[in-house]
């Protein structure tokens, strides 16, 4: 099923339009004991999706009611902090009840400041998802879960000239479809990262980063591979108006078996935030590199860019606009997809504990393979509430 990434790509492209208004809330936490707080919140949305399967022909449309409560538990110590977070996101399709589903998201984070030079951040997560935007709806929706656990150790005081970060992450992808559907995508991945930062100015650091990721597929072993990347770059907070990180280098994908040829590509990652005014912010994110393959492709060379703009017109009213472009070249098969995503929303901060948002998103995927192109419009009214 070739469109299992559709939800994720759309979410990246329209993050400002449909869900970022949740961050504007100022929720009041419930104090359970010294240093321990509990924070509930609730998102309710009514949306209309004119192509919720993201297909070229025989489109299905529906009004969709989303109810997503979130429960967050925080515990803070003198040199440590912990967070547990759970979200259940229920989608009710009024024109297609067989597609009703509930996604579950668990996250656990911990941070430790051992002393001025030694810090550790840990993360674990579990996500159980059903995706309606998949290629062959004659069978069933994509149903999968992911598990991950990882951490980042940092050596060096924040004011020191040199800092070192060592990171690791292990994740699993498993499908729960019947008859082993999508089993060829199931995999484990073990990632290692080492980054050295060197300060060249009070608010500017150059960096050198190495990465190694080992992909182990459970059934489609031809895709077993090791990704290696070396990047150099800079991270800065040059002024109060501009912050950002830019990395450029090269990535190589070595397959364990000779069925596919090894691949290499120029690679970059960048994220820049520019705030020319206190009430207006621009964000630019861009990436080039390899994604894992699907539909018999050994890998996918992806180049993506997203530009977002958030502007407060009044104290309680702001708009967000975004545009994203993604070019995906499938390796070892003849396929290329070019996708554009547009998003526009307005949010009214009605109360400290309530945001009301109205958003529109449009996705246009142009593929040179038959029946893989699609257009999709989503209109949404969203309420985000807390205590």
Domain of 240: which CATH number? 2.40.160
Q: What are phi and psi of 241, to 5 degrees?
A: -95, -20
Q: What is the largest CA-CA distance in the chain?
A: 60
pLDDT attached to residue 133: 86
Q: What is the DSSP string of 156-207?
A: S-TTSSEEEEEEEEEEEEEE--GGGTTGGG-EEEEEEEEEEEEEEETTEEEE
**SS3 call for 138:** coil
**SS3 call for 293:** coil
Angstrom CA distances, 22 to 217, 341, 380, stand at 36, 21, 14
What does DSSP assign to residue 27? P
Domain-located, residue 360 = yes
275 class by beta-carbon count within 10 Å (0-12 exposed, 13-18 middle, 19+ buried): middle
Residue of 250, 303, 305, 301 whose CA lies nearest to 272: 305
Domain-located, residue 49 = yes
**Residue 268, both tokens:** 């970059």
Tens of pLDDT along the chain (387 residues) come to: 444 434 333 433 333 344 433 346 788 899 999 999 999 999 999 999 999 999 999 899 999 999 999 999 999 999 999 999 999 999 999 999 999 999 999 999 999 999 999 999 999 999 999 999 865 555 789 999 999 999 999 999 988 999 999 999 999 999 999 888 889 999 999 999 999 999 999 899 999 999 999 999 999 999 999 999 999 999 998 777 899 999 999 999 999 998 999 999 999 999 999 999 999 999 999 999 999 998 889 999 999 999 999 999 999 999 999 999 999 999 999 999 999 999 999 999 999 999 999 999 999 999 999 989 999 999 999 999 999
CA–CA gap between residue 248 and residue 207 (Å, rounded): 10
Contact 196, 224 (CB under 8 A): no
Residue 387 CA to chain centroid, in angstroms?
27
**SS3 call for 328:** strand
What domain range is 180 assigned to?
6-386
The pTM score is: 0.90
pLDDT attached to residue 20: 38
Q: How many Cβ atoms from other residues are within 10 Å of residue 292's Cβ?
A: 20
**Residue 12, both tokens:** 């990246």
Q: What are phi and psi of 6, to 5 degrees?
A: -60, -45
Residue of 335, 375, 342 whose CA lies nearest to 359: 342
Dihedral sign for Cα atoms in the order 236, 238, 240, 241: negative
pLDDT attached to residue 6: 40
Domain-located, residue 84 = yes
CA–CA gap between residue 36 and residue 81 (Å, rounded): 10
Domain-located, residue 318 = yes
Buried b (16+ CB within 10 A) or exposed e, 332-345: eeebebbbebbbbb
Give the pairing of strands 101-113 and 118-131: antiparallel
Domain-located, residue 151 = yes
**Residue 41, both tokens:** 């919140």
Domain-located, residue 204 = yes
**Residue 14, both tokens:** 């329209």
Q: Scan for tokens 């050994």, then name that residue.
A: 298
Q: Scan for tokens 């702001």, then name that residue.
A: 318
Domain-located, residue 1 = no
Domain-located, residue 186 = yes
* Structural domains counted in the chain: 1
In the beta sheet, which residues pair with residue 162?
198
């Amino acid at each position: 099923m070739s469109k299992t990434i559709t939800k994720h790509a759309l979410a990246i492209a329209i993050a400002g339009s449909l869900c970022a208004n949740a961050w504007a809330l100022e929720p009041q936490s419930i104090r359970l004991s010294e240093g321990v707080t509990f924070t509930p919140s609730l998102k309710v949305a009514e949306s209309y999706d004119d192509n919720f399967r993201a297909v070229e022909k025989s489109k299905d449309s529906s009004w969709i009611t989303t109810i997503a409560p979130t429960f967050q538990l925080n515990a803070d110590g003198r040199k440590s902090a912990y967070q547990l977070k759970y979200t259940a996101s229920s989608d009710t399709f009024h024109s297609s009840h067989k597609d009703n589903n509930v996604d579950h998201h668990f996250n656990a984070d911990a941070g430790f400041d051992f002393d001025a030079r030694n810090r550790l951040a840990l993360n674990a997560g579990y996500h159980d998802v059903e995706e309606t935007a998949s290629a062959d709806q004659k069978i069933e929706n994509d149903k999968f879960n992911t598990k991950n656990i990882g951490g980042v150790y940092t050596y060096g005081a924040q004011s020191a000239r040199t800092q070192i970060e060592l990171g690791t992450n292990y994740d699993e992808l498993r499908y729960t479809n019947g008859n082993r559907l999508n089993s060829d995508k199931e995999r484990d991945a073990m990632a290692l990262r080492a980054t050295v930062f060197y300060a060249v100015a009070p608010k500017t650091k150059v960096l050198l980063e190495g990465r190694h990721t080992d992909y182990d597929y459970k059934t489609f072993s031809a895709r077993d591979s090791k990704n290696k990347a070396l990047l150099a770059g800079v991270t800065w907070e040059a002024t109060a108006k501009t912050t950002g990180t830019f990395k450029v280098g090269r990535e190589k994908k070595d397959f364990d078996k000779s069925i596919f040829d090894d691949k290499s590509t120029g690679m970059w990652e960048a994220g820049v935030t520019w705030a020319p005014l206190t009430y207006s912010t621009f964000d630019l994110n861009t990436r080039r590199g390899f994604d894992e393959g699907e539909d018999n492709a050994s890998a996918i060379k992806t180049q993506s860019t997203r530009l977002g703009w958030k502007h407060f017109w009044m104290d309680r009213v702001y708009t967000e606009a975004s545009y994203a472009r993604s070019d995906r070249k499938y390796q070892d098969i003849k396929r290329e997809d070019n996708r554009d995503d547009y998003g526009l929303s307005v949010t009214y901060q009605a109360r400290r504990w309530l945001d009301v948002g109205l958003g529109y998103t449009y996705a246009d995927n142009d593929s040179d393979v038959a029946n893989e192109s699609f257009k999709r419009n989503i209109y949404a009214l969203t309420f985000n509430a807390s205590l």
